[in-house]
């Protein structure tokens, strides 16, 4: 009986072996946001996962938002948050608060990672000119200091990775004239992943991955090639709000990322489970022609 428990433990580690091997020294960009950022325990689990990935040889890069806290601080100073098409209307005061709050959230994540024994370095998209932006005009509307990434200078990230740091990034960038801009976190993560030619881009979302039955989170599809995903859209299996999400993944893949993961951030340690177990806990969308991911397919 004791031996059984032993063997179970050993088997979990051994099950991880081929994945550790395959993704050794690969870059994984983790977009961290949503409800996984609110629950303190989930937050710790995400950071634990990133640290473990780093220790077993991956090169994780965290990009995070700070949505709830920004709104809270805005209200504290008497400003009512406003959104257009899901993007925060950002006047000068809002920008100042956003920058301060994101910097603070960033600093807290750095603390957590370091308590687990790695060295982390928190940066914004301004440090090392990581993210150069221009003013975004979604649907030709001006929503203030919201930036669209026009250039990514990855030197600061690759330097930090080579120097064995865990980079933790918050999405504030600057334009050619030195003006700061707030950037949508998903957008920033995708641009960074593409510029780094990351092997993986993982989104921690508030939904399971792509499901065949929207009412059953366990019906998520484990692996999808781009071509297959297009077909599922055509066939009406992928529907509604999931369509733009999946199409977004296509763009990252076209830009040079090998695999994009859509994970349910509400599952503790979803990153580890997705990457180190055969079934995973979300959907991975892959470039056509990339070698099979080796886990049991779900259909």
Among 4, 41, 76, 299, binds a second copy (CB under 8 A): 76
243 contributes a contact to a second copy by CB under 8 A: no
Looking at residues 150 to 179 of the shown chain, list those that interact with a second copy (rule: CB under 8 A).
155-156, 159-160, 163, 165, 172, 174, 177-178
Does residue number 7 form part of the binding site for a second copy (CB under 8 A)?
yes
E-assigned strand segments in the chain: 27-32, 59-64, 83-84, 87-88, 120-124, 131-135, 147-152, 166-170, 172-174, 180-182, 200-205, 223-225, 259-264, 282-286
H-run or E-run covering 299: none
- Establish if 248 lies at the interface with a second copy (CB under 8 A): no
148 binds a second copy (CB under 8 A): no
50, 272, 284, 285: which one binds a second copy (CB under 8 A): 272
Q: Which of residues 16-75 bind a second copy (CB under 8 A)?
A: 16-18, 20-21, 24, 45, 48, 51-52, 55-57
Task: State the virtual CA torsion across 189, 190, 193, 194 in degrees, nearest 10.
Answer: -150
Residue of the chain from 43, 79, 89, 127 that contacts a second copy (CB under 8 A) = 127
Residue 199 within binding range of a second copy, rule CB under 8 A = no
Q: What is the dihedral of CA 186, 189, 190, 195, to 10 degrees?
A: 160
Interface residue with a second copy, options 38, 111, 239, 256 (CB under 8 A): 111
3-state secondary structure of 48: helix
| Contact mark string toward a second copy, 81..110, x via CB under 8 A | ---------------x--xxx-xx-xx--x
Nearest to 46 by CA among 26, 35, 20, 172: 35
């Amino acid at each position: 009986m004791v031996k059984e428990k032993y063997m179970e433990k050993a088997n979990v580690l051994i099950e991880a072996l081929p994945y550790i091997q395959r993704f050794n020294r690969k870059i994984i960009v983790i977009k961290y946001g949503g409800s996984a950022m609110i629950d303190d325990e989930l937050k710790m689990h995400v950071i634990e996962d990133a640290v473990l990935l780093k220790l077993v040889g991956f090169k994780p890069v965290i990009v995070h938002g700070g949505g709830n806290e920004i709104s809270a601080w805005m209200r504290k100073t008497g400003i009512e948050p406003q959104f257009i098409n899901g993007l925060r209307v950002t006047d000068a005061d809002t920008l100042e608060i956003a920058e301060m709050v994101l910097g603070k959230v960033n600093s807290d994540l750095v603390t957590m990672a370091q308590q687990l024994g790695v060295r982390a370095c928190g940066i914004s998209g301004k440090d090392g000119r990581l993210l150069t932006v221009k003013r975004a005009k979604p649907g030709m509307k001006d929503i203030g200091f919201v930036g669209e990434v026009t250039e990514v200078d990855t030197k600061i990230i690759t330097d930090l990775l080579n120097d064995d740091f865990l980079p933790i990034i918050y999405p504030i960038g600057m334009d050619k004239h030195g003006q700061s801009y707030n950037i949508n976190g998903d957008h920033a993560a995708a641009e960074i992943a593409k510029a780094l030619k990351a092997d993986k881009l993982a989104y921690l979302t508030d939904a399971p991955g792509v499901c065949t039955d929207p009412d059953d989170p366990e019906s998520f599809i484990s692996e999808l090639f781009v071509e297959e995903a297009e077909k599922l859209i055509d066939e009406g299996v992928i529907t509604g709000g999931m369509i733009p999400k999946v199409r977004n993944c296509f763009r990252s893949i076209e830009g040079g990322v090998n695999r994009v993961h859509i994970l349910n951030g509400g599952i503790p340690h979803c990153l580890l489970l997705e990457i180190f177990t055969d079934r995973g806990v979300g959907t991975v969308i892959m470039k056509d022609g990339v070698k099979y991911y080796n886990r049991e397919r779900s259909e």
